[in-house]
């Protein structure tokens, strides 16, 4: 794969990243990714990115006092969460649906 930014070649890399969202701050290590040899840009695979987002959703539900500060990517849950849910609008009589985040 070539780098989107500089055109350099990418290679396999185990990245470390920080998840931050609404007061959640967790460092995730050993994330499988690609890194550019020239500009050092990091690219996550699609399934890895979804797994990180799902992990952030799950970690938000844990009380801050019990939440880990550091976690390895291999310890994150593998099961995908349902990200979208269709729900009927209450005031709409035409039976239209809207997408809401879980």
What would the two tokens of residue 49 be? 């990115």
Containing structural domain, residue 37: 10-101
Q: Provide the residue-wise pLDDT of the chain in tens; the chain has 102 residues.
A: 899 999 999 999 999 998 887 777 889 999 999 999 999 999 998 888 888 888 888 888 888 888 888 888 888 877 665 554 444 445 444 444 444 443
Alpha carbon distances (Å) from 73 to 7, 33, 96: 28, 11, 39
- For residue 60, the model assigns a pLDDT of 83
Residue 28 inside a domain? The answer is yes
Task: Domain count for the chain, please give it.
Answer: 1
Residues 6+ apart with CB under 8 A from 56: 19, 21, 24, 26
Residue 5 inside a domain? The answer is no
Residue 4 inside a domain? The answer is no
């Amino acid at each position: 794969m070539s780098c989107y930014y500089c055109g350099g070649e990418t290679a396999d890399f185990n990245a470390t990243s920080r998840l931050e969202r609404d007061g959640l701050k967790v460092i995730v290590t050993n994330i499988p990714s690609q890194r550019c040899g020239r500009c050092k840009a990091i690219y996550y695979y699609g399934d890895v990115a979804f797994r990180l987002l799902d992990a952030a959703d799950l970690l938000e539900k844990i009380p801050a006092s019990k939440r880990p500060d550091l976690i390895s990517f291999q310890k994150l849950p593998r099961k995908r969460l349902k990200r979208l849910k269709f729900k009927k609008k209450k005031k709409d009589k035409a039976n239209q649906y809207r997408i809401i985040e879980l």
